[in-house]
Amino acid sequence: MNPSAQHQDAEGARLGMWLFLFSELLMFGGLFVVFAVYLQRYPAQFADAGRQLSLFFGTGNTVLLLTSSLTVALAFEALRQNRQRLCQGLLGFTILAAGLFLVNKGLEWHAKFQHDLYPGSQTLRQAPAGQELFFGLYYLTTGLHGLHVIFGGVILSWVLVQVRQGRIIATRPTMLENGALYWHLVDVIWIFIFPLYYLLL
Protein backbone atom coordinates (compact mmCIF):
# COMPACT_ATOMS: atom_id res chain seq x y z
CA MET A 1 0.00 0.00 0.00
CA ASN A 2 1.40 3.41 -0.92
CA PRO A 3 1.95 6.07 1.81
CA SER A 4 -0.94 8.21 0.55
CA ALA A 5 -3.43 5.35 0.87
CA GLN A 6 -2.06 4.48 4.32
CA HIS A 7 -2.53 8.09 5.43
CA GLN A 8 -6.11 8.14 4.15
CA ASP A 9 -6.90 4.87 5.96
CA ALA A 10 -5.44 6.24 9.20
CA GLU A 11 -7.43 9.47 8.90
CA GLY A 12 -10.61 7.51 8.22
CA ALA A 13 -10.00 5.29 11.27
CA ARG A 14 -9.42 8.34 13.46
CA LEU A 15 -12.59 10.03 12.21
CA GLY A 16 -14.60 6.87 12.78
CA MET A 17 -13.28 6.59 16.33
CA TRP A 18 -14.08 10.22 17.13
CA LEU A 19 -17.65 9.76 15.87
CA PHE A 20 -18.00 6.61 17.98
CA LEU A 21 -16.65 8.41 21.06
CA PHE A 22 -19.12 11.24 20.50
CA SER A 23 -22.03 8.79 20.44
CA GLU A 24 -20.78 7.25 23.70
CA LEU A 25 -20.59 10.68 25.31
CA LEU A 26 -24.17 11.37 24.26
CA MET A 27 -25.33 8.14 25.92
CA PHE A 28 -23.63 8.86 29.23
CA GLY A 29 -24.60 12.52 28.95
CA GLY A 30 -28.23 11.41 28.89
CA LEU A 31 -27.72 9.45 32.10
CA PHE A 32 -26.08 12.45 33.75
CA VAL A 33 -29.00 14.66 32.74
CA VAL A 34 -31.46 12.16 34.27
CA PHE A 35 -29.36 12.15 37.44
CA ALA A 36 -29.39 15.96 37.58
CA VAL A 37 -33.17 16.10 37.12
CA TYR A 38 -33.83 13.69 40.00
CA LEU A 39 -31.16 15.34 42.13
CA GLN A 40 -33.13 18.59 41.90
CA ARG A 41 -36.28 16.73 42.91
CA TYR A 42 -34.79 14.70 45.78
CA PRO A 43 -31.64 16.56 46.94
CA ALA A 44 -31.69 15.40 50.58
CA GLN A 45 -32.50 11.78 49.73
CA PHE A 46 -29.80 11.63 47.04
CA ALA A 47 -27.30 13.05 49.55
CA ASP A 48 -28.29 10.45 52.15
CA ALA A 49 -27.90 7.66 49.60
CA GLY A 50 -24.57 9.03 48.36
CA ARG A 51 -23.14 8.90 51.88
CA GLN A 52 -23.67 5.13 51.82
CA LEU A 53 -21.18 4.70 48.98
CA SER A 54 -17.55 3.89 49.74
CA LEU A 55 -15.30 6.91 49.19
CA PHE A 56 -12.33 4.55 49.65
CA PHE A 57 -13.30 2.40 46.66
CA GLY A 58 -14.34 5.43 44.61
CA THR A 59 -11.08 7.27 45.23
CA GLY A 60 -9.01 4.13 44.61
CA ASN A 61 -10.68 3.55 41.27
CA THR A 62 -10.19 7.20 40.34
CA VAL A 63 -6.46 6.92 41.01
CA LEU A 64 -6.29 3.70 38.97
CA LEU A 65 -8.01 5.22 35.95
CA LEU A 66 -6.06 8.48 36.04
CA THR A 67 -2.79 6.56 36.26
CA SER A 68 -3.79 4.17 33.49
CA SER A 69 -4.80 7.07 31.27
CA LEU A 70 -1.28 8.44 31.72
CA THR A 71 0.40 5.09 31.02
CA VAL A 72 -1.56 4.47 27.82
CA ALA A 73 -0.58 7.95 26.59
CA LEU A 74 3.05 7.17 27.45
CA ALA A 75 2.74 3.84 25.63
CA PHE A 76 1.69 5.67 22.47
CA GLU A 77 4.62 8.05 22.81
CA ALA A 78 7.00 5.13 23.40
CA LEU A 79 5.76 3.48 20.21
CA ARG A 80 6.39 6.66 18.24
CA GLN A 81 9.98 6.59 19.56
CA ASN A 82 10.37 2.92 18.50
CA ARG A 83 10.71 1.84 22.14
CA GLN A 84 8.72 -1.34 21.71
CA ARG A 85 9.52 -2.98 25.04
CA LEU A 86 8.62 0.15 26.99
CA CYS A 87 5.39 0.46 25.00
CA GLN A 88 4.48 -3.14 25.83
CA GLY A 89 5.23 -2.64 29.53
CA LEU A 90 3.10 0.49 29.73
CA LEU A 91 0.23 -1.22 27.92
CA GLY A 92 0.52 -4.15 30.32
CA PHE A 93 0.27 -1.79 33.29
CA THR A 94 -2.79 -0.12 31.77
CA ILE A 95 -4.49 -3.49 31.32
CA LEU A 96 -3.59 -4.46 34.90
CA ALA A 97 -5.13 -1.21 36.16
CA ALA A 98 -8.32 -2.02 34.24
CA GLY A 99 -8.45 -5.40 35.95
CA LEU A 100 -7.88 -3.87 39.39
CA PHE A 101 -10.63 -1.33 38.72
CA LEU A 102 -13.07 -4.15 37.99
CA VAL A 103 -12.01 -6.07 41.11
CA ASN A 104 -12.56 -2.95 43.24
CA LYS A 105 -15.94 -2.33 41.65
CA GLY A 106 -16.93 -5.96 42.22
CA LEU A 107 -15.95 -5.72 45.90
CA GLU A 108 -17.89 -2.47 46.25
CA TRP A 109 -21.00 -3.93 44.64
CA HIS A 110 -20.69 -7.04 46.80
CA ALA A 111 -20.61 -4.89 49.94
CA LYS A 112 -23.73 -3.03 48.79
CA PHE A 113 -25.55 -6.30 48.15
CA GLN A 114 -24.49 -7.52 51.60
CA HIS A 115 -26.12 -4.40 53.07
CA ASP A 116 -29.29 -5.03 51.02
CA LEU A 117 -28.73 -1.93 48.91
CA TYR A 118 -29.71 -2.82 45.37
CA PRO A 119 -32.78 -2.10 43.20
CA GLY A 120 -35.78 -4.09 44.42
CA SER A 121 -34.21 -4.96 47.78
CA GLN A 122 -36.33 -4.91 50.92
CA THR A 123 -34.29 -2.05 52.38
CA LEU A 124 -34.74 0.21 49.36
CA ARG A 125 -38.42 -0.64 48.97
CA GLN A 126 -38.92 0.74 52.46
CA ALA A 127 -36.64 3.74 51.89
CA PRO A 128 -37.74 7.12 50.49
CA ALA A 129 -38.28 7.13 46.73
CA GLY A 130 -35.23 9.31 46.08
CA GLN A 131 -32.85 6.77 47.60
CA GLU A 132 -34.19 3.94 45.44
CA LEU A 133 -33.82 6.15 42.36
CA PHE A 134 -30.27 7.03 43.37
CA PHE A 135 -29.18 3.42 43.66
CA GLY A 136 -30.99 2.47 40.46
CA LEU A 137 -29.04 5.14 38.58
CA TYR A 138 -25.84 4.23 40.42
CA TYR A 139 -25.98 0.58 39.34
CA LEU A 140 -27.03 1.46 35.80
CA THR A 141 -24.32 4.07 35.29
CA THR A 142 -21.43 2.28 37.00
CA GLY A 143 -22.48 -1.05 35.45
CA LEU A 144 -22.48 0.45 31.97
CA HIS A 145 -19.14 2.10 32.68
CA GLY A 146 -17.79 -1.24 33.91
CA LEU A 147 -18.73 -2.82 30.58
CA HIS A 148 -16.73 -0.09 28.86
CA VAL A 149 -13.75 -0.87 31.11
CA ILE A 150 -13.99 -4.55 30.10
CA PHE A 151 -14.24 -3.63 26.41
CA GLY A 152 -11.33 -1.20 26.74
CA GLY A 153 -9.20 -3.83 28.45
CA VAL A 154 -9.95 -6.32 25.65
CA ILE A 155 -9.05 -3.73 22.99
CA LEU A 156 -5.77 -2.84 24.70
CA SER A 157 -4.91 -6.53 25.18
CA TRP A 158 -5.38 -7.08 21.45
CA VAL A 159 -3.27 -3.99 20.73
CA LEU A 160 -0.53 -5.33 23.02
CA VAL A 161 -0.45 -8.59 21.06
CA GLN A 162 -0.23 -6.66 17.79
CA VAL A 163 2.67 -4.56 19.12
CA ARG A 164 4.51 -7.71 20.21
CA GLN A 165 4.02 -9.24 16.78
CA GLY A 166 5.32 -6.11 15.07
CA ARG A 167 2.03 -5.28 13.35
CA ILE A 168 1.63 -1.99 15.20
CA ILE A 169 4.80 0.07 14.82
CA ALA A 170 5.88 3.72 14.84
CA THR A 171 4.81 4.21 11.22
CA ARG A 172 1.50 2.38 11.77
CA PRO A 173 0.30 3.51 15.20
CA THR A 174 -3.40 4.07 14.40
CA MET A 175 -4.80 1.06 16.29
CA LEU A 176 -2.89 1.98 19.45
CA GLU A 177 -3.91 5.62 19.03
CA ASN A 178 -7.59 4.68 18.74
CA GLY A 179 -7.32 2.25 21.65
CA ALA A 180 -5.78 5.00 23.76
CA LEU A 181 -8.54 7.41 22.76
CA TYR A 182 -11.17 4.89 23.83
CA TRP A 183 -9.42 4.40 27.15
CA HIS A 184 -9.29 8.16 27.70
CA LEU A 185 -13.07 8.19 27.15
CA VAL A 186 -13.47 5.57 29.89
CA ASP A 187 -11.41 7.79 32.17
CA VAL A 188 -13.31 10.98 31.33
CA ILE A 189 -16.68 9.33 32.01
CA TRP A 190 -15.48 8.16 35.42
CA ILE A 191 -14.28 11.71 36.20
CA PHE A 192 -17.95 12.72 35.94
CA ILE A 193 -19.30 9.67 37.79
CA PHE A 194 -17.00 10.04 40.79
CA PRO A 195 -18.06 13.52 41.99
CA LEU A 196 -21.71 13.01 41.04
CA TYR A 197 -22.15 9.86 43.11
CA TYR A 198 -19.33 9.70 45.64
CA LEU A 199 -18.89 13.37 46.57
CA LEU A 200 -22.58 14.20 46.80
CA LEU A 201 -22.94 15.65 50.30
Query: What local confidence, expressed as pLDDT, does residue 201 receive?
Result: 61
Tell me the per-residue pLDDT of 32-86, one tens digit each, with 9 for 90 and over.
Answer: 999 999 999 999 999 999 999 999 999 999 999 999 999 999 999 999 999 999 9
Structural domain of residue 40, as residue ranges?
3-198
Overall domain count for the chain: 1
Query: What local confidence, expressed as pLDDT, does residue 25 receive?
Result: 92
SS3 21: helix
Q: What is the CATH number of the domain that holds 169?
A: 1.20.120.80
pLDDT-flagged residues of the chain (< 50):
1-5
The one-character DSSP state at 128 is: -
- Single-letter amino acid code for the residue at 68: S
Identify the bridge partners of residue 172 per DSSP, sorted by sequence position: 169
Q: Are 75 and 94 in contact (CB under 8 A)?
A: yes
